[in-house]
Structures are given as C-alpha cells and as structure tokens.
Structure 1
C-alpha cells in the first residue's frame, strides 16, 4: 500500500487551498479545520501543517486569495471605457454574492481579535480601499476623499451583506438595486462633488 504524502500529491499547497475554499463555501468559516482539509485531500494532518501552521494561517491565505480575485475584478472594471463608480459597486456586490463565505472571511469572520493572521487580513484590505480613494481624486475635493471612499465602501459593503443574507425586500436585479442606491447617495454627495 502506497503511503500518501505531499510528495505524491503534486502541488499540495494549492490542493489544500482549493479544498479549504470548497469547505468554506459549503459550511462557513467555523468549519475550516486542518484535519478535515487533510482528510479530504487524502494526506495526514502533519502534511497540512507543513504548509499552514494553523487554521488561521489557512484562513488568512484564503482571504488573500479572495482579495486578489476582487482586485482583478476591480481592475477589469477600470479597464472598461467609461467605467464609473456604479460599475465598481456592481462588480463588488457580484463578487460578494458569488463567494459569500469567502467574502465574510475577507472581512474578519473566523479570526481571533488581535491575531497576527487577523492583522494580515486587515492589511490585505488596504489596497482595495486605496484603489477606491485613487478613483475619487478627480471628482472629490482632496480633503473629502477618505470620507467619501469610506462612505461608498460602507454603503456597498453593507448592501452586499444584506444581499448575501437575503434581507432585501426589493425584487430587482442586483445591478438595478446597486445603481438606485448609489443614485440616492449621489443626491447627498452632490454638495461636495466637483463639477464635471
């Protein structure tokens, strides 16, 4: 009988992440367990510990994967001619809806407060926020950029969570809802937006 190990597995780290992501989406962050990931890959738990020192280290790697994918989506929107803030918001919400458990993990679910991994996940968020701020510089007075970016992120993030949880009573497409909510928000932001 051949002993199972990472040496016979090919790229074990990638396989572990793929399995962990499937487990995450099936059962949520609380179900992530290195022993279950090992079992599903047919390897021993020590083989998993060779790649991830803890459950939180595995979860942080998944969160990083999620932010990389979200970043790619945002860059695709930026590459579109005429892509505006509503396009970013629609793409953001679509990502959250397609990967609800991963999205929650990306925003801290399953991490102990003050842990190194939790801090790392917070650092993974920073480029997304910085990208949003950069997109506002041309249309918002410079002193207001951090506040407008925070407002838009909070609005879109909250909307994404409400949609994930099935809390909306409005029966329209996600894109329609996002666009309408942003149009309402624009009325309040009109006072600080630069003309043009």
Structure 2
C-alpha cells in the first residue's frame, strides 16, 4: 500500500523523467537542466532535488526507463515474429530512430550507470538477458556463454547500424539486416 503522499511523489518523479525525455527529443540533452525541469513541472528547483541528486541522475532515470521499454519491445517481437532475428533487429533500429535522444543517452552519452558489472541496474541486465534468450533460442546455442557472446555480436552490429543511420552515414536497408542475421545463423551453426 502506498499513501497518497507517496503516490504524488512517484507521479511527480515520473513527470520529471517524462519532461526530461521530451525536452531532449525536441531540443537535445543540452537543453535539459534542473531549472528547466522545475519550470516544466511548475515547481521550484529544490523539488527536483527531492527526487534526483542532479541532472545526471535524471538522465540515468531516463536511461533506466529506456532500457525497460527496450526489454519489453524485445520480448514482444520475439513472441510474435516468424523470423525473430530480423524482426528483433528491425525493432531495435526502429526504437533508435523513433527515440534518438533516448538512444543517445542509453548508448553513447557518458553515464554513471555501469554496464556488465555487479551493480548494473536491473533494467540494463534485463535487456541483455532478453536478447540472450531470443538469440540463444533462435541460434540453437547450447551454453549461456555461447549465447551471450553471440548476443554481444548481434547487439554491437544492431547498435552500429542504428548509430550510423542516426548520424546520416548510411541508409537503413532490408539487405543489411538480412545479411547480419544470416551471419549470425552461419556462426551459430558452426
């Protein structure tokens, strides 16, 4: 049970996260400040500090939420797709294209969040584990370590395609995704 005060606290915290994300998507991360967030939620700046120590902690909360969304997306497409790897890659690419500032915060901006460490936040671990499950099953991997290694390759390739496309370096094409997934199938059958 939560009290009305706790519910208001959680709602305001989510408002701060939502506004940070909206501002970043519209104007870039440089436009996100605790002062601006306070104005957006119609409170004083100290209210922001009741929820987050500083701007970077706000960004970290946005990142954690982004990974929770990505995990949900991975799980949805794994269950619905006839070709899970291709669907998964396209879903990942679409996620990055529809949320470029969020994707930037999740994967390219410096952050205090640790990846692949004992204290890695659950949302980050869950995304990787969801990918390991899909790729391990699709590729017929016998051990977790093999599935995890193949997942790292797949994720790195999808990230490379997403980053290059977001930077305007390459267009997104169906044949790129098909070749990537074909390479994964070849590797996993060896």
TM (normalized to structure 1)?
A: 0.77
Partner of 1:5: none
Change (3 A) 1:79 1:183: closer
Q: How many residues align?
A: 176
Change (3 A) 1:89 1:13: same
Deviations 1:159-186 (Å, cap 9, x if unpaired)? 0111111111x4xxx4xx2x41233235
Larger radius of gyration: 1
119-128 or 24-33, which moves further after superposition? 119-128
Q: Distance in 2 between matches of 1:89 and 1:187?
A: 12
Q: Is the 8 A contact 1:141 1:193 kept in 2?
A: no
Partner of 2:105: 105
Partner of 1:27: 27
- Post-superposition, which runs of at least 4 consecutive aligned residues in structure 1 deviate over 6 A? none
User: Where in structure 1 are there 5+ consecutive unaligned residues?
Assistant: 1-7
Q: Distance in 2 between matches of 1:103 and 1:155?
A: 15
How far is 1:63 from its partner?
Answer: 0.7
Change (3 A) 1:163 1:49: same
Q: Is the 8 A contact 1:29 1:110 kept in 2?
A: no
Partner of 1:3: none
Q: Distance in 1 between matches of 2:19 and 2:179?
A: 41
User: Where in structure 2 are there 5+ consecutive unaligned residues?
Assistant: 1-7
1:182 aligns with 2:184: no
Residues 1-196 of structure 1: matches in 2 within 5 Å?
11-111=11-111, 115=112, 118-119=113-114, 123=121, 124-138=123-137, 139-142=140-143, 144-168=146-170, 170=171, 174=172, 177=173, 179-186=174-181, 188-194=183-189
How far is 1:107 from its partner?
Answer: 1.7
After superposition, the CA RMSD in angstroms is: 2.7
How far is 1:29 from its partner?
Answer: 2.4
Q: Which has the higher helix share?
A: 2
TM (normalized to structure 2)?
A: 0.80
